[in-house]
């Protein structure tokens, strides 16, 4: 069981070798099995569960403040964590893309638009829908429109950081991927729950069970898509096209 779990979490670091023919046919079958979106989600589910639980513990202290003070503090903290989330998302997207492709122009485009999309989905759009689902008058806030001048430096820093990390040895990148992804999901969890509080769902503890389950899904799916699935798909599609041309 331990060996199987290790294969699940390590497969993304071996796929590049797989596509360059460095493994046997039997090993390729294993890698292909673990390269599905579903396996990625299952592999990263524990990260989401623990990070959302930790985020809810941290945000419990905000709820002890009176409503006006709590909402004001949550609003400021939401933007802090959302901007940090953009750094982590851009870093992860660029790092994964350049594991499988050296196309600089496509990598930069992926590094810009993938974090811009999935950070908004996990931190704002899905929490907004969650509040609407329980009947609250939630506000939709998109920082890439409202605070673009503030967002861009964090996005640029994440892209540069991802490029720098992509030059490090594979063993070091393996360490980064585990610690980095947990912190990424934790930051996203903090941003999502802070959005709920600051934009209409202040008394979230009355529906704590719903909030917990909803946030696990709201951060697990976008973060996994942004960190692994989407950049890998772009890079591998380009790689397959290049191999066919040659």
The pLDDT assigned to 121 comes to: 94
pLDDT per residue rounded down to tens, the chain (246 residues): 545 555 555 444 443 344 333 443 333 332 233 457 788 888 889 889 999 999 988 887 776 666 677 788 889 999 999 999 999 999 989 988 988 888 999 999 999 999 999 999 999 999 999 888 888 888 888 898 888 999 999 999 999 999 998 887 766 655 566 667 778 889 999 999 899 888 878 777 778 888 899 999 999 999 888 888 888 888 877 555 555 555
Q: How far apart are CA 165 and CA 42, in angstroms?
A: 26
Cβ atoms of 116 and 187 closer than 8 Å: no
The pLDDT assigned to 171 comes to: 61
Question: What predicted TM-score, i.e. pTM, was given to this entire model?
Answer: 0.78
The pLDDT assigned to 240 comes to: 55
Buried b (16+ CB within 10 A) or exposed e, 30-63: bbeebbeeeebbebbeebbbebbeebbeebeebe
Cβ atoms of 195 and 78 closer than 8 Å: yes
The pLDDT assigned to 18 comes to: 40
The pLDDT assigned to 72 comes to: 84
The pLDDT assigned to 174 comes to: 58
Distance of CA 167 to the CA centre of its chain: 21
């Amino acid at each position: 069981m331990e060996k199987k779990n290790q294969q699940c979490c390590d497969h993304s670091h071996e796929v590049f070798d797989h596509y360059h023919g460095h493994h046997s046919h039997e090993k390729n079958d294993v890698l292909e099995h673990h390269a599905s979106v579903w396996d990625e989600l299952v592999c990263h589910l524990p990260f989401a569960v623990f990070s959302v639980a930790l985020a809810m513990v941290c945000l419990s202290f905000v709820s002890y403040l009176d409503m006006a003070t709590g909402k004001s503090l949550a609003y400021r903290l939401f933007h802090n964590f959302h901007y940090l989330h953009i750094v982590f998302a851009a870093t992860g997207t660029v790092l994964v893309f350049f594991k499988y492709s050296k196309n600089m122009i496509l990598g930069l485009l992926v590094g810009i638009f993938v974090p811009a999309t999935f950070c908004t989905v996990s931190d704002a759009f899905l929490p907004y829908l969650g509040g609407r689902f329980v009947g609250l008058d939630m506000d939709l806030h998109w920082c890439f429109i409202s605070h673009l001048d503030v967002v861009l430096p964090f996005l640029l820093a994440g892209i540069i950081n991802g490029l720098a990390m992509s030059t490090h040895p594979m063993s070091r990148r393996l360490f980064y991927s585990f610690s980095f992804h947990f912190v990424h999901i934790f930051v996203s969890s903090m941003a999502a729950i802070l959005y709920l509080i600051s934009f209409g769902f202040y008394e979230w503890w009355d529906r704590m069970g719903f909030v917990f389950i909803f946030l696990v899904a709201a951060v697990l799916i976008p973060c996994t898509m942004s960190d692994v699935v989407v950049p890998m798909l772009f890079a591998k599609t380009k790689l397959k096209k290049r191999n066919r041309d040659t």
